[in-house]
Structure 1
Amino acid sequence: MPEPAVRRGVLAAAAGLALAVAAPPQIASAEPPACALLGTVGTPELGADETTAGLDAFPAAAIPLPDQVFLRTTAETFNRRWSFAVRDGSVYVKQAAAQGGWRTLPLPGCMAGRIAGVSADDDELMAIDVDGRFFTMDHILSAPADWNWSSRYGTPLWTGPGNTLPPGTIAWTWSVLSPNEDRLWRDTAGNDHNVGGAKVSHVFALTDDGHRIHYVDPWLPLDHSYEMSTPDQGRFRAVALSTSGSTTLVVDRFGNLYTRLYDFDISGADKVFFRYSYEDQRGRPAAPDMLGERIDDHYAAIQLPAPDWLRQPRIPGRITDRISVHKTGIGSNARELRVEGVDGGRTGYWVKELAADHWDFVPTDLPLAGRLLDNPGTDHSADDTVAASPYTYAGLTASGVAVRIESFDVAVSPTPLRLDFADGSHLDLTLHTVDGLRQTVQASGITDQPRAFDGTVEIPADTLATLPDQSAPVREFLQTALAGRRFTETPVRVTTNEFSIEGLGPTLSRTR
C-alpha cells in the first residue's frame, strides 16, 4: 500500500477507529466485538520521533497508578521510552523516566474496556483482550502520534487474520529482537550474528501448569505448535516468565531462576535466511553486515544446538513470582534481570546484569504485588510430578539393527538414540531435532498429523576417536549408514504411532 494511505490508516487506528479490512476471524468461543485493525506492524520501520507529540491529546488518568514501573509484567510494562499499565480493561501510558504523569490511552471501540494485559518490548506493545486475542501497537519507541493498532497476526508475513493465547496459558510475555535496538546476538560458539533484516517478535506463553512454553510468531501459521522446552529437559515447572529481546527468564515455586536466549531464528529453524551448523564454528570470521542475506561458507554459520538454559545465582533473600527482564544496550548479553522481593525488612527488587555473578537489592518500599516463593536455598529444579513423554518408538533396520527412541518430546532436543546389534554390542548416538519452517497449520504436540523436523544424527566424539576399538558391526554401521561423519543431516517425521529417521532407514513403531 502506498505510504500516504498507510499513514492515514495509522492515524485513524490511533484515534480509535476500527479499519474493517476483512471479515473478523472467529477466534474465540464467545462473541467478541468485530475487530479488524490494519496498522503498520510488520512493515519496514519509519524513523522514530523523539518528541512526545500526541501525548497531550490523551486524557489524564483518573485512577491511582504507581509513580514508576520497575518490572515488566502484563499488568505494568515498559520499554526505554514509555511505561504502560492495565486497569479494569483500560490502558494507561506515561514517559518511563518521569515520576507519574499517567494518561489514558485511547483504544479502538472493539478493544475499549476489554484489555486483560499488555507487554512492551522494543518498539511494539502486545495487548491481550479478555478473549485472549492479540492486538499489537507499533512504533512505541516513537511519539504517540505515530502509535497504531493492528489485529493482524500470522502467515503470510504478519498479514494473517489474528491469533490468540494458547489454551491453558498461565503467564505470557512479548519479546522483540530487532536490528535497530539489539543489532547482534551471540551463539554458543561465541560468535556474534546480525539479527537480520527484520525483527523477531514472539508471544511466549507458559502452559500445562507451568512445564511447557509455546511461542507464537506473527510470521508463522495460526496455531500454537512451536515450543521451547523448560529447563531440565522439560521437567522444570515454572510459575512465571518474562522475555525481552529473545532472552527468557523463568522461576519455579522454589525460587530457582534460569535464563535462555532462544527464538525461531536462533533455534535453527529459519534456513531460508540463515546458515546453521553443528560443526564447530569457533575461530571462523564473522559475517559482514549484510542484514537479511545469506552468507557464504567462508564465514561462521550459526552454531547449533541453540543456547540452552543457564542457571542464575540464587537470590539471598525473600522473593516473589514477579520477575522481569529488559534490554540495556546492543547485543544479546545486554539484559537486566529483576525479581520483586524483600531485604532487611524493606520491599523492592533484586537486580543483576545477565552475566553478573551476584544480585543487588534496590528498595522501593512499595507493597509486594507478587506471590512469595519458598526460596529454600537448595536445588529443586527437576519436578518429579512432571511425567516423562509417553512417546517411545522402536524398530529394526534392514540389516537387523534394533533402533530405539525413548520418551521423545517435540520441545526437547537432543534425544538419545540407542542402537543394539545382533552380536550384543550397542551404540549410543544423539538425535538433534529442530522444528522447522511451516506455512500450514500444525496441531500442537504429537498427533496423527505427521510432524516434520530437521534432524541431525551425531556420533559422539569419543566414539569416533575409538572407532578401531569398536565391534565390527558398530564400525560397519558408522562407516556405511553415517559415512563416518560426526554429524549427518536427515529428515525426521513423527506421528502418534510412527517415527521415521530417513537417514537410518527404519520407520519405528510406538511401543508405549
Structure 2
Amino acid sequence: MLRHALAATVLTIGALAPSAPAAAAEGPCRPVGTAGLADLVPGDSTLGLSALPPATVDLPARISLRGTTETFNRRWSFAVREGRVYVKEGSANGGWRTMNLPDCLDGRITGISVDDDELVALDESGRIHTMDHALNAPWTWNWTYRYGAPLWLGDGNTVPYGSTRWTWSVLSPGEDKVWRDSAGNDHPVGGAKVSHVFALSPDGSRITYVDPWLPADHSYEMATPHRGRFRAEALSTAASTSFVVNRYGDLYTRLYDFDIAGSDRVFFSYSYEDQRGAAFPKIQLPAPDWVRQPKVPSSGQITDRISVHKTGRGTDARELRVEGRDHGRSGFWHKALTDSGWSFTETGEPLRGRLLQNTPDDRSADTLVPASPYDYAGTRGGVTARVDAFAVAVTSTPLLLRAGDRELTVTLHTVDGLRQSVQSPCLTSQPRVFYGTVEVPRSVLDDLDAQQPELRDLIRDRLGSARFTDTDVVVTDRTMTIARLGLTLNRT
C-alpha cells in the first residue's frame, strides 16, 4: 500500500523511546507513535523488564493460544486482567510483570492482540490503541491512539461490530520476508508492514478488516468460505493468514489482506493472466481462496478457542491450534499449516472455550446464511445481462449474458479499490467503486464466430476479444455499472 513508499518519509514525531528504561508508556496517550514505521532490528535484550512491577494477580505459567485476553508473539506473552496488561518472556514459566500503560488506558483495557512487533489494545469504547516494538525490549515500547488515513495519522478507529471476536495481524518484511500468491510465486512483503484488525460479525458470516493506513471506516471485507455464506464461530489471524471454525468443527484458512487482494494498484502490479513460470511475475489474481483444513480426529473434543501464529519466514510458516481434549486429557490440538494431520499437546488446564460438535463429516454447508439479496439486470442493444447475489467481499461473480435463445456466462471479478475517503459499509446509495475485470472463457474466444451475433459483437467491440479486460465497476444498492461493457444494471 502507500506504506511501502511513504513509510520512509514519515517523521518519528514524538516516537523515539526515552532513555529511561520502562518509562516509554508513562503519561497521556501519545498522538503519534512509531507503529507506522519499519521496526527496530529485533534483539534479545530485556532492558526495562526488571523495572516493571511484579504481577500481583493470578496468571498462567504459559500461554498456548492467541486470543483477546491472552496472546503471544515470538518473544513475549501478554495477558489482560481487570483493565491492565501483564507481560513475561514467552519462553519463561511465570515471571509476569505489570506493564506501564498510558494514563488513558490504565485500568480501561478490555482486549489485546499481538502479532509480530505490534500489539493492539481496545479501551472500554472499543477504540484501537497500538503499541510498537513488541519484538524488542520493554524500554522501546510506545503507544498511539492514531489510526487511519493518512499514514496512520488519522483520528482513530474502533473495532468493527463492537465485536469480541477480533484479532490483530501483521505481515512484515522483517519476520515474514515473502508471501505466496495463487500461482505459487513468492513476492516480497514490501518496504513496510501490512497490519489489519480483523473482526467477525455477530452472525459469524462477515469478516471486516480495518487497516491503519486506510480510511477510518468499516467498509473493507474479506468473504468467509462458501462465497461469504459460511457462519464462523471464531476467528484468528496472524501474518494475513486467517483461521475460522464453524459449530461442527469444520476448519478453513486463507491468506488475504488489502495488498494480496489486488487493491493496492498504486504500488503493485497484478494480473489475472496465468503467471506460472513467468520470468518477472505479477501478483496472480484472484487472491488465494479459503483452504479446507483436515478436521481434528472425531475422537477428540474441541472448543471455539482457535489460534494461528507464525513460525518462520514465508506464508507456509504458520501453526494452527485448537483447544480441546484427547482421551480425557485437556490441552490443544495443533498442526503446521500444510500438514495433513493433527497432534495433541496436554496442558492439564481446564477448557475455557465453548465446546463444538466435532463431527467427522464435512458440515460446512449446514449453517450457511442466505445468499446476498443484491441481484441486478439490464439490457444493452440485444444483450440482456444479469448478476445474481452480488456481495462486496466476494471477488468473482458469474455475469450472465443472453441474446435471443443463447446464453453465455462470463466472470466479473471485483476488488475494493484504494480510497482515502470514508465509505459506507455494505451497499448503500453511496457509489462504491471496484477495480473490475471481465473474464471470458477461453473456449468462447476459441470459437467466437459460433456465438450469437449480439454476444459475439459485444465481446469483440467492447472487450477487444480479450480473455481479461479491466473495467471500473460502480455499485449502489440500486444500480451496477460495468463501464467497459457499457452496461448499467438495475436492482431486481
In the alignment, is the contact (CA less than 8 A) between 1:13 and 1:148 conserved in 2? no
1:180 aligns with 2:162: no
Distance in 2 separating the partners of 1:203 and 1:383: 28
1:272 aligns with 2:266: yes
Corresponding residue for residue 359 of structure 2: 376
The one of 372, 379, 394 aligned to 1:412 = 394
Shift of residue 49, structure 1, vs aligned partner: 4.1
1:386-433, Cα deviation, whole Å (9 max, x unpaired): 121111111111x22111111111011201101110x31111010000
Query: Which ranges of structure 1 fall in alignment gaps of 5 or more residues?
Result: 20-35, 286-298
Question: TM-score scaled by structure 2?
Answer: 0.95
Distance in 2 separating the partners of 1:97 and 1:356: 25
**Superposed, which structure 2 residues align to 1:110-189 within 5 Å?**
110-189=104-183
SS of residue matched to 2:445: helix
Distance in 1 separating the partners of 2:104 and 2:332: 36
In the alignment, is the contact (CA less than 8 A) between 1:170 and 1:207 conserved in 2? no
Shift of residue 475, structure 1, vs aligned partner: 2.4
**Superposed, which structure 2 residues align to 1:346-425 within 5 Å?**
346-384=329-367, 386-397=369-380, 399-421=381-403, 423-425=404-406
C-alpha change, 1:275 and 1:345, in structure 2 (3 Å) is same
1:177-230, Cα deviation, whole Å (9 max, x unpaired): 000000000001110000000100000000141100000000000100000000
C-alpha change, 1:2 and 1:471, in structure 2 (3 Å) is closer
In the alignment, is the contact (CA less than 8 A) between 2:80 and 2:112 conserved in 1? yes
Corresponding residue for residue 95 of structure 1: 89
Distance in 1 separating the partners of 2:415 and 2:426: 14
C-alpha change, 1:130 and 1:462, in structure 2 (3 Å) is same
Shift of residue 37, structure 1, vs aligned partner: 3.7
In the alignment, is the contact (CA less than 8 A) between 2:377 and 2:491 conserved in 1? yes
Distance in 1 separating the partners of 2:317 and 2:477: 42
Corresponding residue for residue 7 of structure 1: 16
Distance in 2 separating the partners of 1:323 and 1:263: 20
1:326 aligns with 2:309: yes
Distance in 2 separating the partners of 1:322 and 1:167: 20
C-alpha change, 1:13 and 1:465, in structure 2 (3 Å) is farther
Question: TM-score scaled by structure 1?
Answer: 0.91
Distance in 1 separating the partners of 2:304 and 2:226: 20
**Superposed, which structure 2 residues align to 1:409-488 within 5 Å?**
409-421=391-403, 423-488=404-469
In the alignment, is the contact (CA less than 8 A) between 1:13 and 1:149 conserved in 2? no
1:494 aligns with 2:475: yes
Corresponding residue for residue 315 of structure 1: 296
Distance in 1 separating the partners of 2:19 and 2:434: 39
Amino acid at match of 1:149: W
Corresponding residue for residue 3 of structure 2: none
Amino acid at match of 1:412: V
In the alignment, is the contact (CA less than 8 A) between 2:121 and 2:128 conserved in 1? yes
* Count of residues paired in the alignment: 480
Distance in 2 separating the partners of 1:347 and 1:459: 52
Distance in 1 separating the partners of 2:14 and 2:289: 44
The one of 66, 70, 74 aligned to 1:76 = 70
Query: Which ranges of structure 2 fall in alignment gaps of 5 or more residues?
Result: 1-9
Shift of residue 13, structure 1, vs aligned partner: 7.0
